[in-house]
Amino acid sequence: MPPLPAAALALPLLLLLLVVRTPPPTGARPSPGPDYLRRGWLRLLAEGEGCAPCRPEECAPPRGCLAGWVRDPCGCCLECANLEGQLCDLDPNAHFYGRCGEQLECRLDTGSDLSRGEVPEPLCACRSQRPLCGSDGHTYAQICRLQEVARARPDANLTVAHPGPCESGPQIVLHPYDTWNVTGQDVIFGCEVFAYPMASIEWRKDGLDIQLPGDDPHISVQFRGGPQRFEVTGWLQIQAVRPSDEGTYRCLARNALGQVEAPASLTVLTPDQLNSTGIPQLRSLNLLPEEEAESEESDYY
């Protein structure tokens, strides 16, 4: 069999180098997907080529590094460190996934749900999980989150005001929403509140100062802490609604620093009214808005 021409061998090699040498976008948070793996192969390629004499003046300054900077595999130039939750190298002598940033360390992710036979992945994790108060008045879950925000907004000059959460008046994270139902059915209103010190939640109806449930046996209230830290959630349940239950209900949250409230209306229909009115017009009243469907933990509270 005749040997392949040199041009036929060079083309696949050229395509491979173009793929491997394509750098990830600066300022973006890499994921454990193909782009992130390409960074690892790029490191191996650099090690295979060997380290040239270090000339710091020839190093391109890294940009958009939310977790800070680390030295490259040759110990010469600076590169972006890995953020919390990104893959990392457990072996300090390895340079495939990269090193974790400031206040982070590489640990095996044993807390996630693993299928049978799966091996936990090494991920960057923050050394501290204690909340703290930023100079912007927001409470951050831990120091790594604050540092990410500080590097993303350098003009804000964000610093740590003090350990522990910031004192704040209540903020309603998830409002109760307008709803309707037919007589005899049950209705539930929910209200999720953040505050430090923790807030108390009360329920009122139609501008009255009478705290629910009062002595009404078909109305009940429940409370629990969460779902996030420094939050409390309250529910108002009305069993077997009657026409007299129709009205506006208010979630009122308060602590020593202030109070806030959020209203929601209840429309009660009899079966005859439902048949004469039609469902399509009323169905929209009973839908939870998309932006309130979930309460997600953000960088700060």
Q: How many CB atoms lie within 10 A of CB 216?
A: 11
The pLDDT score that the predictor gives to residue 153 is 94
Q: How confident is the model at residue 113 (pLDDT cuts 50, 70, 90)?
A: low
Say what percent of the chain tops pLDDT 70: 73
Please say if the pLDDT value at position 278 is more than 70: no
CB 104 within 8 A of CB 82: yes
The pLDDT score that the predictor gives to residue 160 is 96
The pLDDT score that the predictor gives to residue 98 is 92
Query: How many Cα atoms occupy the beta-carbon half-sphere of 287 within 13 Å?
Result: 9
Please say if the pLDDT value at position 21 is more than 70: no
Q: Which one is predicted more confidently, 161 or 14?
A: 161
Cα(178)–Cα(192) distance, integer angstroms? 15
Nearest to 230, CA basis, from 278, 197, 268, 187: 197
Please say if the pLDDT value at position 69 is more than 80: yes
Cα(31)–Cα(92) distance, integer angstroms? 21
The pLDDT score that the predictor gives to residue 221 is 96
Identify the DSSP state of 42: H
Q: At what angle do helices 6-20 and 34-49 cross, to 10 degrees?
A: 120
The pLDDT score that the predictor gives to residue 272 is 85
Q: What is the pLDDT of residues 136-163, one digit of tens each?
A: 998 998 999 999 999 999 999 999 999 9
Highest mean pLDDT among 47-51, 182-186, 207-211: 182-186
Please say if the pLDDT value at position 174 is more than 90: yes
Q: How confident is the model at residue 36 (pLDDT cuts 50, 70, 90)?
A: low
Please say if the pLDDT value at position 22 is more than 50: no
Cα(282)–Cα(178) distance, integer angstroms? 11
- State the average pLDDT over residues 213-227: 92
Query: What is the DSSP annotation of 48-64?
Result: HH-PPPP-GGGPPPP--
Q: How confident is the model at residue 28 (pLDDT cuts 50, 70, 90)?
A: very low
Please say if the pLDDT value at position 15 is more than 90: no
The pLDDT score that the predictor gives to residue 16 is 45
Please say if the pLDDT value at position 128 is more than 70: yes
- State the average pLDDT over residues 222-250: 94
Give the least confident one: 49-58, 201-210, 283-292.
283-292
- State the average pLDDT over residues 198-223: 92
Give the least confident one: 76-85, 190-199, 274-283.
274-283
Provide the mean pLDDT of the chain.
82
The pLDDT score that the predictor gives to residue 29 is 46
Domains along the sequence of the chain with CATH: 132-166 (no CATH), 169-273 (2.60.40.10)
The pLDDT score that the predictor gives to residue 132 is 94
Give the least confident one: 47-56, 223-232, 245-254.
47-56
Nearest to 261, CA basis, from 274, 248, 273: 248
